[in-house]
Structure 1
Amino acid sequence: MRIAVIDLGTNTFHLLIAETNGEQFEILYKTNVPVKLGEGRINENIIIPAAFERGINTLKDFNQTIISYKVDEVKATATSAVRSAENGKDFVKAAKEVAGIEIETITGDEEAKLIYEGVKLSGAIQEKCLIMDIGGGSVEFILCDVEKLIWKKSYNIGAARLMQQFFKSDPISDEDKNEILNHIQNQLSDLFEICETHQPQKLIGSAGAFETFAELIIQRKTLNIDIKTAKTYEFDFDDYIDTTINLINATHDERMKMPGMIPLRVDMIVIAALITNYVMGRLKLNKLALSTYDLKMGVLANLMIH
């Protein structure tokens, strides 16, 4: 059976087409487009007209690809930007009428569960872990072990939100940094409480920004690893810390020039680094891994079971 999964993120729209056979699957096609649906006014809960149009045009293109691959089933999920936007329902309606794509808008809780399913499929969960997925609109945290999901929550502290609210300097000033960290600290108090009880041993970053961290390290150290085909990647903690400190201290232009950087993440990666370093520091974690499998693989995993 041929399945297409569309993940409409706040920054990026993803399309994945897979041939499935029972619990086996082969990925036939994969692409992502930096739609930037949260551009400009995400904190006012509005999808601005230019972003709205980019989103619908991207879905039209996705639909053409889906048709050409003769797909049997299409599952499109929308997350934080569409979920929280006043005109999110208009976007869902336009997607169906103009692009022929039926979208399901999922809750933060459902999003966290699907991220967990995706990461589980990658084989990254070997011990008690905290999974973290940094989106443009929200950040999901999932506490789990090899057997089960223990706790999950979605927070509205995505990189696009925090960037528009707090990131006003280049390179980022101590003042901006402190505002971001204070905000995160206030938002995540229940996360730190639950982790105090369960003591995760490792942080697993789900795709997105963590792929960029890995790519920057791979390029700098000329490692023979292709993130596009890898399911997981284990970070050397010192390499990770060096890389993130460089990112935080660099100007926009300096980050642009770093081998392995993608334009979409040039500024948001600073927010991602600050959040990740803060969480790892608070939880005294020094083990970090990347799972390239994320929400869309979770959707695929669910469709294969049913």
Structure 2
Amino acid sequence: MKFSAIDIGTNAARLLVGEVVKESNKSFVKKISYTRIPLRLGDDAFSLGRIDVKKKSNLINTIKAFQIISDIFEVNKMRAVATSAMRNAENGSQIVQDIRQGFGIDLEIISGEEEANLILGTFMLLDIAKGQPFVVIDVGGGSTEINIYRGNQKIASQSFKIGTIRMLKGKVKKGIWVELNSWISNFINTSESFMIFGTGGNINKTHKLLGVKSENPIPIQEMTALKEKLKALTLEERMKRYQIRPDRADVIVPALEIYTRILSNFKSSNIFVPKIGLSDGMIYQMYLEENKI
């Protein structure tokens, strides 16, 4: 059974067409087609508090294109969600209504908590040592979700209004880092060792730039060094030297800043990058619902 997951994020819109397959008694989301459009809704949402006419038109055309692609692949079920930028936009609900009336697609504006839960759904498919405490950090354009697990049970989950576009726009509120660090300290023991997982396009790109093998984690020391190298370059130099797209070149530095600041709270020298995200979680959730699991 094929599923289509549309993720309207702060920095980009993504379409994942996929299916859940089983091999050697293990399930995973097999990607059939992946499309990414750099809409940058956060540019408007965090500066104007709304999505302007041009960005709205681009969003609607993107939804239309995603619907056509889904039809070509003859998907059995589709789900579309929007995250931080649309949560922040005062006209978000009206845009949702226009999309529903125009295409019959129910675009859901989901909370940070639901966003985190969908991402975490696919983590249950990974080979994480039983009982091993672990943390999942998802850095997006408008928000960062942190989930802490111990004994395969989620003990804490929180969404913070810290994201790459927010940082670029100077829209991160004073005191939020103190709030984040305090929140983490309430749930961890500083002597405890956690496995750290990072999700999102920027950490995936960092993994690739550092030439780390797919199954290996990124040494935090190397990630910090890369952040400083990128920070010293202009956008044009980043794009030329590291072959980074324009819409990635500006957000990767604030993303790495967020990761490194959060990681300073944990006793860990590595961060694992499973390269799964919200759209994978959506497909897995649809699979569970269809199979009544």
Q: TM-score, normalised by structure 1?
A: 0.83
One-letter identity of the residue aligned with 2:204: E
Change (3 A) 1:198 1:62: farther
Pick one of 129, 132, 153 that aligns with 2:158.
153
**1:251 equivalenced with 2:234 (yes/no):** yes
> Gapped runs of 5+ residues in structure 1?
167-178
Q: Which moved more, 1:108-117 or 1:39-48?
A: 39-48
Give 1 or 2: higher helix fraction.
1
CA contact (8 A) 1:119 1:294 kept: no
8 Å contact from structure 2 (residues 203, 256) kept in 1? no
Structure 2 letter corresponding to 1:101? I
Unpaired segments of 5 or more residues in structure 2? none
TM-score (norm 2): 0.87
Amino acid at match of 1:139: T
Distance 2:105 2:126 in 1: 28
Shift of 1:238: 3.3
Q: Between Structure 1 and Structure 2, how many residues are aligned?
A: 284
Q: Which residue of 2 aligns with 1:75?
A: 79
Alignment check: 8 A CA contact 2:5 2:16 kept: yes
Q: Which residue in 2 is equivalent to 1:195?
A: 188
Q: 1:201-250 CA distances to partner (integer Å, 9 max, x unpaired)?
A: 232111311011112112xxxx6x5xxxx5x5411333222212212232
SS of equivalent residue, structure 2 residue 79: strand
Label 1:258 to 1:45 Cα distance change in 2 as closer, same or farther (>3 A): same
Structure 2: distance between partners of 1:144 and 1:97: 41
**What are the residue-to-residue correspondences of 1:132-171 with 2, within 5 Å?**
132-145=137-150, 147-165=152-170
Deviation per residue, 1:235-286 (Å, 9 max, x gap):
1333222212212232222222232423212111111111111112233431
Question: Which shifted more, 248-257 or 197-206?
Answer: 197-206
- 1:28 and 2:11 aligned: no
Residue 125 of structure 1: CA displacement?
7.0
Q: Secondary structure at the match of 1:137?
A: coil
Matched, 1:61 2:65: yes
Q: Which residue of 1 aligns with 2:200?
A: 207
Give the match for residue 6 of structure 2. Answer: 6
Q: Alpha-carbon deviations, 1:46-73, whole Å to 9, x = none?
A: 1122221111111110011111111111
| 2:100 corresponding residue in structure 1 | 96
Identity of aligned residues (%): 26
1:8-61 Cα distance to aligned partner (Å, 9 max, x none): 111111111123468565322111111111114415431122221111111110
Distance 1:181 1:86 in 2: 23
